[in-house]
Structure 1
Amino acid sequence: MERRQFMAGTGAALIGAGVGGTALAKAGAKTLAKTRAKTHAFGIQLWSVAKQLESDFDGTIAMLAGLGYRELEMFGPYSFSDPRQIASWQVTAKSLGFSGSGFYGRSTAQLNKLFRSHGLRVPSLHTDLFTLQTRMGELAAAAHALGATYVTLPSLPADHRQTFDDYKRAADMFNAIGRDAARHGVRFAYHNHGYGIVPVNGVRPLDTLLSATDPKSVFFELDTYWTIAGGADPKDFLTRYKGRYRMVHLKDMRGNHRFAGDGGGASDWIAMFPHLTYLGDGSLDMKGIIDVARHTGVEHFFVEQDRADDLMVALKGSAAFMQKLGYR
């Protein structure tokens, strides 16, 4: 059982101003580009508000934008996803208390209109292994329609990580998926969980995934919480593999806790959920992690709140923390 299966006007005037206006427009574009380069946006993985999206999609998106979130990472399955994943989701949804996913019945045109009205961007789409292997064309088309760069695998299925050799084969598989993604004009990324961090014969499987994959076509998304729970230091991974991590999931932890096992099963995850909290309310060096991430090539920061005693308090708290650091 995978974790998520378990868990419950100015520009127009310039353009119309003739030759002189064109020059001004170009100058304005350069200024805007410089401004954006200095302004670091932060976002949220929509899994954090999955139930709220199902009951009030437009209102939830407006709420997130109002809190200051500027980037969204979506999760599948989507209408075009591999039928096996759609069938699996239908079974899983019964235990989650909601069934909405992907675009929640909306077209990419409808999503674009809504997101743009709130100043929101979609850099990444989480998806599944089946869809990455069999539906890359459809997945990439959706990504292009939304302006997304990354198609991201949120977890490695259990049957692909039973042995160290499984991880070696996974690296080969990731290289193939990465090349296919590049052919379709998108980038493939893998999001780590806590498994693969405990050494096997002195070698961490996650190190194999990083070292045996092509840095030109396979990228990574670091999860702060699960990395810590697995017994590793996020700053160490970010530094040693500079340029490989392009996205980060930000989560804080109350106290200092580790998996009882290797982080590969539900019992390990269940034991860790009570310690999850919002940014700045826990004990992790979130500012330090974010600073290292920024200086080692990370492009996107997504808050992810798998659970919360009070979701609105958590969402507001994490947004306030990021804004205090200068992210807008």
Structure 2
Amino acid sequence: MDRRNFLRTAGGLALGSLAWASLGCDRPEASSTAGGSRRLERIGLQLYTVRTLMEQDVPRTLEQVAQLGYREVEFAGYYNYTPQELRQMLDQLELSAPATHVPFQMLEENLSALLEAAHTLGHRYVIVPWLPPEQRQTIDDYRRWAERFNRWGEACKAANVQFAYHNHDFEFARIGDQVPYDVLLAETDPELVKMELDLYWITYAGFDPLVYFQQHPGRFPLCHVKDMTADRQMVDVGQGTIDFVKIFAQAAGVQLQHYFVEHDQPADPLASIRRSYEYLSQLTF
């Protein structure tokens, strides 16, 4: 349950001479039922979903994303464009980019450049999406990560940016009698370290996102909206079994603000994000 391939795309973070390989992850997705009268105001997209298109033509891909109705995007690499160039594209398309995924090495080695890019692009959240397997074998390993998260969170806060962490399923695989994700929550400062909850991965691991919302209000300002079949395969949002109505109805009261559609391995990226958007745009809760 704690095995997943972390995929690397061919993109790059262009910050002067600084090159950066963009990051992603592989997972499954969800479904829902009719709800109340509320709707999602701004539906976002994790651009890793359309990475094969981004690698070919970033401006055209962003244009297609906006044409489908998405209003927010979350970056996972800048594909050798400068932050200034990307910001111009976003502004022309009336898109915002409140968040980005970055490799943890970036925070250690090029923090000032990363924060400068974040300010240019309007990122309010800088998110680490993955921990290497060799550095998460023990609970003490996770405690060390918590220390680093706090340190990075303090540095980001000083620059008016929020640090956050994105989960997979491996954080929920018990080590002894402890759940590593609970250790990360307990040993990080809630003001310095927020969490982006991947609704597919936490469900895949057999845990309930609503329990975490209840126990840690305010810790989850962002989520990945991904759907999963009964046999735990990833599918377009609305094609699986995750009850988004129930999740979103409660999330509205715990400060969840950003909802990013994601599919790690879509057969047809544009068709996938279109189906997910159409489902979410009609969803009431």
Q: TM-score normalised to the size of structure 2?
A: 0.84
Deviation at 1:118, TM superposition (A): 1.3
Question: Does the 8 Å CA contact 1:2/1:155 hold for their aligned counterparts?
Answer: no
Alignment-derived partner of residue 184 in structure 2: 209
Question: Is the counterpart of residue 141 in structure 1 residue 108 in structure 2?
Answer: no
Q: Which SS does the other structure have where 2:239 is aligned?
A: coil
Alignment-derived partner of residue 41 in structure 2: 40
Alignment-derived partner of residue 5 in structure 1: 7
Question: Does the 8 Å CA contact 2:40/2:281 hold for their aligned counterparts?
Answer: no
Q: Which SS does the other structure have where 2:252 is aligned?
A: helix
Alignment-derived partner of residue 184 in structure 1: 159
Structure of larger gyration radius: 1
Question: Is the counterpart of residue 294 in structure 1 residue 252 in structure 2?
Answer: yes
Provide the C-alpha distance between the structure 2 equivalents of 1:313 and 1:39, rounded to a whole number of angstroms.
Answer: 20
Identify which range, 289-298 or 244-253, moves more after superposition. Answer: 289-298
Provide Cα deviations, 1:309-328, integer angstroms capped at 9, x if missing partner.
3333321111012211369x
Unaligned residue ranges in structure 2 (runs of 5+): 11-38
Question: Is the counterpart of residue 322 in structure 1 residue 280 in structure 2?
Answer: yes
Residue type of the alignment partner of 1:311: P
Unaligned residue ranges in structure 1 (runs of 5+): 9-37, 76-101, 258-274
Alignment-derived partner of residue 87 in structure 1: none
Question: Does the 8 Å CA contact 2:9/2:51 hold for their aligned counterparts?
Answer: no
Deviation at 1:4, TM superposition (A): 2.7
Deviation at 1:50, TM superposition (A): 0.7
Alignment-derived partner of residue 134 in structure 2: 159
Alignment-derived partner of residue 49 in structure 1: 50
Question: Does the 8 Å CA contact 1:40/1:326 hold for their aligned counterparts?
Answer: no
Provide the C-alpha distance between the structure 1 equivalents of 2:208 and 2:4, rounded to a whole number of angstroms.
Answer: 23
Picking from 216, 227, 248, the partner of 1:252 is 227
Alignment-derived partner of residue 280 in structure 1: 238
Count of aligned pairs: 255
Provide the C-alpha distance between the structure 2 equivalents of 1:181 and 1:201, rounded to a whole number of angstroms.
Answer: 33
Q: Which SS does the other structure have where 2:127 is aligned?
A: strand
Provide the C-alpha distance between the structure 1 equivalents of 2:8 and 2:111, rounded to a whole number of angstroms.
Answer: 26
Question: Does the 8 Å CA contact 1:124/1:150 hold for their aligned counterparts?
Answer: yes
Alignment-derived partner of residue 269 in structure 1: none
Question: Does the 8 Å CA contact 2:40/2:280 hold for their aligned counterparts?
Answer: no
Residue type of the alignment partner of 1:4: F
Alignment-derived partner of residue 15 in structure 1: none
Deviation at 1:172, TM superposition (A): 1.3
Provide the C-alpha distance between the structure 1 equivalents of 2:100 and 2:182, rounded to a whole number of angstroms.
Answer: 24
Question: Does the 8 Å CA contact 1:227/1:234 hold for their aligned counterparts?
Answer: yes
Provide the C-alpha distance between the structure 1 equivalents of 2:262 and 2:123, rounded to a whole number of angstroms.
Answer: 18
Provide Cα deviations, 1:136-188, integer angstroms capped at 9, x if missing partner.
11111000001110110011121221011111111111111111111222111
Alignment-derived partner of residue 68 in structure 2: 67
Provide Cα deviations, 1:227-272, integer angstroms capped at 9, x if missing partner.
1111111121122111001110110011143xxxxxxxxxxxxxxx
**Higher share in helix:** 1
Question: Does the 8 Å CA contact 1:198/1:231 hold for their aligned counterparts?
Answer: no
Residue pairs, 1:76-225, within 5 angstroms: 102-225=77-200
Provide the C-alpha distance between the structure 1 equivalents of 2:174 and 2:124, rounded to a whole number of angstroms.
Answer: 32
Shift in alpha-carbon separation, 1:291–1:171, aligned structure 2, 3 A: same
Greater relative contact order (CA < 8 Å, ≥ 6 in sequence): 2
Deviation at 1:114, TM superposition (A): 1.2
Deviation at 1:111, TM superposition (A): 1.3
Identify which range, 203-212 or 104-113, moves more after superposition. Answer: 104-113
Deviation at 1:226, TM superposition (A): 0.9
Question: Does the 8 Å CA contact 2:49/2:266 hold for their aligned counterparts?
Answer: no
Question: Does the 8 Å CA contact 1:238/1:245 hold for their aligned counterparts?
Answer: yes
Provide the C-alpha distance between the structure 2 equivalents of 1:134 and 1:107, rounded to a whole number of angstroms.
Answer: 19
Alignment-derived partner of residue 238 in structure 1: 213
Question: Does the 8 Å CA contact 2:226/2:234 hold for their aligned counterparts?
Answer: yes
Percent identical pairs in the alignment equals: 34
